[in-house]
Amino acid sequence: MEKSPYYLDQDQMDWVLETLKAMDTEQKIRQMFCTIAYTDNEDYLKGIADGQFGGLMCRTMKKEELIHLAAYLQSHVKIPYFIAGNMEAGMNQCCDTGTRVGCQMAIAATGNVENASKLGQVVGSEASALGMNWAFAPVIDIDMNWRNPITNTRTYGSDPETVASMGAAYVTEVQKHGIAASIKHFPGDGVDERDQHLVTSINSLDADTWMNTYGKVYQAGIDAGALTVMAGYIMQPAWSKKLNPELKDEDILPGALSKELLTGLLRGKLGFNGTIITDSSAMAGLGCAMSRKDALPKCINAGCDMILFAKNMDEDLGYIRTAIENGVISYERLDEAVMRILALKAALKLPQKAADGTLIPSQGKADAVVGCPVHKEISRQVADESIVLVKEEKGVFPVTPQRYPRILVYPKEGGETELAFGVESRTGAVVKRLRDEGFKVDVFKPSKGFEGIEAPMADVTDHYDLLIYVANLATKSNQTVVRLEWAQPMGADCPIFIHDLPNIFISLENPYHLADVPRIRTYINTFGSTDEILDVLMDKLTGRSPFKGQSPSDAFCGMWDTHLQ
């Protein structure tokens, strides 16, 4: 406890040991669970507080709701709670008025590691003001496979050096504010093209290559003092077999269940001494590996100290309880896990803050910090520095009403069902900005005829000066493929006018659409669609501001024809 990353003093260690000694087995079991909150409803919070769990993760709420949640929980529990959230792109993932600085790939596209520190600074100050203390971030996966459906813009790109330096910078800064960082998702996503939410996936690198890429990235985060690691449902067969040569293929387990990977590789080879938490235990990647009644105890025995979420809390508590009673989980291992949980709480000074009254957040401080003008300016600056002009047709810029008075916009967005899962329609916001600039803008609608009776080419070539595609398709869990789909008849909105008129393709979310529009001659990645990003985009299209970003991964998707003009 006195070593990295906890660095506890004698008083803090005494609190850990005395608290552990005073706990019965049931209290220890409950400390090992981090549950979830979608609301600050007091009936709901009472159940969580009465459960005396180790912590909870918050989904997006209003500022006042988060403050009420933190205040209620911390004033109704004996051992202070972890209050966590996904803080990858900013605080907007926890608080609806929190600052979205920029997704991690946007930060990487700026080419400036200082912006990763600024992301950590904004997250740290806003999270602290809201009474939160644990960031499930940064994502230090390496986006090696452009087809991966879940890493994508959540990562710092495909270059291990960039991922390592920016991940470490975030860790260093966010922890200055009393927020524990959680580097994730060990042993590393981004190689497979499958989603660990839905299936146990694979990091298929050989052991040496892994150590020179993911190993280097994790070592940088550990050396920066990361207090926690989140273990995923991703196998790493090479290291599993290197550490256990007798291991059969059918016995290889994903990170969160693998003693070889957690105890042998993470704690042994990489020297991590902090707290390990599973990724969401509700993921199918866990369920695919083995029966849940065996999987949860296996996570603890492999080296995980906490279990994130439950499928059914009473049932999941029972699985751990039974495993302890039957000797599957030893009391020594139980105490070790709980000691690391308590040591993390001590390292964050949660007991001291509870004693001096500073654990409860202040509405006034939150109002002054969350979404403040200084943080909004950082967001605007990141947007300005990150937008990437991947391909440029000579002479197409600047886009002004004098050069291109009539524009046809092709929207490439999901249907209503997809939009309901957090990807807001933004074509209208782009069209409005174009019209505000003085352009005459129409939005494409396919004709109803089929072969032989389709609308004539002249309907486009004679009536428009410029065609703009606006794609807004983001990767997300439970969706295994993010590719462009085209309208009937026969791909009516495909870019078939590239030989007749200037075309610009703008991707607001996914940086890899060139795979589906390889001959587009002008292609832009913005890595997001906030108002700040769209405002900056207009400045760049019209020539008021230069494009400054550099692709942090291969936007050409490894294909030769995507480079063609």
The catalytic residues are 279
523 bridge partner residues: 391, 505
Fill in the amino acid letter for 57.
M
Task: Say which residues have a Cβ less than 8 Å from residue 485's Cβ, sequence separation at least 6.
Answer: none
The 3-class SS string of 70-121 reads HHHHHCCCCCCCEEEECCCCECCCCECCCCECCCHHHHHHCCCHHHHHHHHH
- Spatial distance between the Cα atoms of 461 and 459, rounded to a whole number of angstroms: 6
DSSP 138: -
503 bridge partner residues: 467
Tell which residue, 559, 530, 425, has the closest CA to residue 153.
530
DSSP sequence for 173-202: HHHTTT-EEEEEEET--SSSSS-TTTS-EE
Sign of CA dihedral 5, 262, 286, 154: positive
Tokens linked to 367: 């109002």
Tell which residue, 506, 534, 232, has the closest CA to residue 379.
534
525 bridge partner residues: 388, 507
Tell me if 385 sits within 8 A of 116, measured CB to CB: no
Sign of CA dihedral 8, 9, 11, 14: positive
- Spatial distance between the Cα atoms of 409 and 148, rounded to a whole number of angstroms: 28
Tell me if 132 sits within 8 A of 84, measured CB to CB: yes
**Regarding beta strands 523-525 and 388-391, do their DSSP bridges make them parallel or antiparallel, or are they unpaired?**
antiparallel
Reported residue count of the chain is: 565
Tell me if 500 sits within 8 A of 513, measured CB to CB: no
Task: Say which residues have a Cβ less than 8 Å from residue 324's Cβ, sequence separation at least 6.
Answer: 25, 29, 331, 334
- Spatial distance between the Cα atoms of 228 and 117, rounded to a whole number of angstroms: 18
Map tokens 């990977």 to a residue. Answer: 261
Distance of CA 280 to the CA centre of its chain: 13
Tell me if 256 sits within 8 A of 289, measured CB to CB: no
- Spatial distance between the Cα atoms of 376 and 538, rounded to a whole number of angstroms: 18
Alpha helices in 401-449 (DSSP H): 416-419, 427-436
Q: How far is CA 63 from CA 58, 69, 87, 421, 452, in A?
A: 12, 10, 15, 21, 58
The torsion of the CA quartet 470, 475, 479, 481, rounded to 10 degrees, works out to 70
- Spatial distance between the Cα atoms of 312 and 318, rounded to a whole number of angstroms: 10
User: What count of Cα atoms within 13 Å lies in the side-chain half-sphere of residue 398?
Assistant: 13
Tell me if 497 sits within 8 A of 503, measured CB to CB: yes
Map tokens 């959230």 to a residue. Answer: 85
Tell me if 282 sits within 8 A of 271, measured CB to CB: no
